[in-house]
A = this chain, B = another copy of it.
């Protein structure tokens, strides 16, 4: 019998997904190739221990790992990234390793209270500083114009292209108009076959206007766009009617790059490996295309009528969308390749819409304050505010902006992914089964609430905040985060959980969470200090991000993540990046304002601020070393 070269791997999650792989392929990359998304935050180095799978059948070779307990080893657990295939194999992906809620349904979205991420949500908060209706002139990235041209005659022999320009300029003041050869090649025939009645698609492109395409007849009603927010963990997209500004639908999905690392730094490292950049690029483009595909299907819209895409994302994500190497972002002095990216064709990045449709990126401020923050500032109106305003966008990185209509400063703190459920023992993302609310009346008397009311599978960010606040206020942990007795606390015992272990919070978890909240608080404090201001000077406080939407303000103040201000100063603004992205898609004026924001904002690099480390260390207590800063908690 000759040895086989390729084998079948079947992943059960729990439904089976099969893939043919070459002998010796590792299970993590096989899973990615099969479209099975497995947790991983180290990018396949065998370090994070998050890609555990169970071998049910077949021959494998695996590296021993300290991340697998004796008990687990007996059950067949291995690290997917450290295991290679040497026969047909059946693999179970256990609940805790799954990224099984690859897309968040509208139903779940409501449950998750992902307010800003969904169209209606922001309107609810209108009074709290989000974009006023019609603040910006309606002038979308792509505009359609129906033209009835005068056919040429012996006394009017102007050429086809100039005839088109002439007609457009009758109603539009366009100093610099451009057209590609593709359109010119089609033009003669198209104008005549359509009896000189055509629709031009005009695109705003780097200070000029391009005739993106010419279509026969009147297609002016078919003009749609996509606003995107590309987060390190979640990718959100919104389908917008560019003519009416109506939001038709919103989708969110997990960033498929998670399998290559949970934070931007791990991914940048992964990008430096052979083929890594390519894989990261394709993963995010797959995400984007999947979102667009679902949106157009649901709303019965032709893909070729999506004429403009606006992308807001952190600087690393923007690089990866464009397949630009992000490696210099993590090397001192931390410089990105481009914060202001020219408008290109969406197709050039692999995004499947109208093949001539445009892709624009919201300009970023710096390497660690990207277009998502520019969009967020625009959305919450910080740059137009009379009052001193702080915006905190909590994600895998925590970005902070402070300012008003006169000035703006910003910084970014590497909060780490703990509040997103990564790097903590029973952490998970905010999907069905995640514990999001915790009440402890006494030890052993714990009431948890999960997302989707499902059987508990783990703890998400808001759950950890509640949990920490409860443990601290009930005296189960001290101000230093150490347990008064024991080394962990059981929230849900195995028998009531959807996983075969107790759902616990450990002292190591608390250490991680403390670092995250400390990093964010310290960053905010430093920003203020740099300007000789104090927290009490802040008149408005916006909290944005997927995280922010779950936040119980009182509890966040209790643990010292947020400062102890009058609660009425706080506003949740949800996914302000997506809202800003949409505004910029719909208005060139908003784009110009976004550019002004990005240029005007001063970026402060915390790693070179000597005071930051002191401030950070002081924040590694609950709520803080200096209790005077938290009078309501004291």
Given contacts A325-B185, A333-B152, contact A207 B176 (CB under 8 A): yes
Given contacts A337-B159, A348-B181, contact A208 B152 (CB under 8 A): no
Q: How far is the CB of A80 from chain B (nearest CB, A)?
A: 32
Interchain Cβ contacts under 8 Å between A and B, 6 examples: A159-B339, A160-B336, A176-B206, A178-B206, A180-B344, A188-B328
Interface readout for A295-337 with B: 1 if CB under 8 Å, 0 if not?
0000000000000000000000000001111011000111111
- Bound CA span A325–B185, Å: 7
Check if A338 is an interface residue, CB within 8 A of chain B: yes
Q: How far is the CB of A510 from chain B (nearest CB, A)?
A: 33
A70 cross-chain contacts in B, Cβ below 8 A = none
- Bound CA span A597–B334, Å: 52
Check if A341 is an interface residue, CB within 8 A of chain B: yes
- Bound CA span A338–B185, Å: 10
Q: How far is the CB of A327 from chain B (nearest CB, A)?
A: 7
Closest to A335 in B: B152
- Bound CA span A181–B175, Å: 25
Q: How far is the CB of A271 from chain B (nearest CB, A)?
A: 12
Check if A189 is an interface residue, CB within 8 A of chain B: yes
Contact check, A342 vs B185: say whether CB atoms are below 8 A apart: no
Shortest beta-carbon contacts, A-B, top 9: A161-B338, A176-B207, A188-B337, A152-B335, A159-B339, A159-B336, A154-B333, A160-B337, A188-B328
Contact check, A342 vs B178: say whether CB atoms are below 8 A apart: yes
- Bound CA span A185–B326, Å: 10
Q: Beyond A157-B335, A160-B328, A188-B324, list 17 extra A-B contacts (CB 8 Å).
A: A153-B333, A157-B333, A157-B605, A159-B339, A160-B337, A161-B339, A175-B207, A176-B207, A180-B342, A181-B322, A181-B348, A184-B322, A184-B342, A185-B324, A188-B327, A188-B337, A192-B328
Given contacts A176-B208, A179-B342, A192-B328, contact A154 B608 (CB under 8 A): yes
A349 cross-chain contacts in B, Cβ below 8 A = 181
A333 cross-chain contacts in B, Cβ below 8 A = 152-154, 156-157
- A338 touches which of B159, B335, B344, B348 (Cβ 8 Å): B159
Check if A340 is an interface residue, CB within 8 A of chain B: yes
A348 cross-chain contacts in B, Cβ below 8 A = 181
Given contacts A181-B344, A337-B160, contact A325 B188 (CB under 8 A): yes
Contact check, B161 vs A337: say whether CB atoms are below 8 A apart: yes
A178 cross-chain contacts in B, Cβ below 8 A = 206, 342
Check if A47 is an interface residue, CB within 8 A of chain B: no
Q: How far is the CB of A134 from chain B (nearest CB, A)?
A: 28
Contact check, A335 vs B159: say whether CB atoms are below 8 A apart: yes
Contact check, B152 vs A184: say whether CB atoms are below 8 A apart: no
Interface readout for A328-371 with B: 1 if CB under 8 Å, 0 if not?
10001111111111101000110000000000000000110000
Interface residues of A in 173-198 (CB under 8 A from B): 175-176, 178-181, 184-185, 187-189, 192
Copies of this protein in the assembly total 2
- Bound CA span A162–B335, Å: 11
- Bound CA span A192–B333, Å: 12
- Bound CA span A178–B192, Å: 34
Q: How far is the CB of A185 from chain B (nearest CB, A)?
A: 5
- Bound CA span A331–B176, Å: 31
Which of A159, A187, A332, A342 gathers most chain B CB within 10 Å? Answer: A159
Which of A333, A366, A608 gathers most chain B CB within 10 Å? Answer: A333
Interface readout for A429-445 with B: 1 if CB under 8 Å, 0 if not?
00000000000000000
A588 cross-chain contacts in B, Cβ below 8 A = none
A192 cross-chain contacts in B, Cβ below 8 A = 328
- Bound CA span A518–B504, Å: 102
Interface residues of A in 436-477 (CB under 8 A from B): none
Check if A603 is an interface residue, CB within 8 A of chain B: yes
- Bound CA span A179–B340, Å: 11
Q: How far is the CB of A585 from chain B (nearest CB, A)?
A: 20
Contact check, A338 vs B176: say whether CB atoms are below 8 A apart: no
A324 cross-chain contacts in B, Cβ below 8 A = 181, 184-185, 188
A322 cross-chain contacts in B, Cβ below 8 A = 181, 184-185
- Bound CA span A247–B323, Å: 41
- Bound CA span A366–B162, Å: 11
- Bound CA span A206–B161, Å: 14
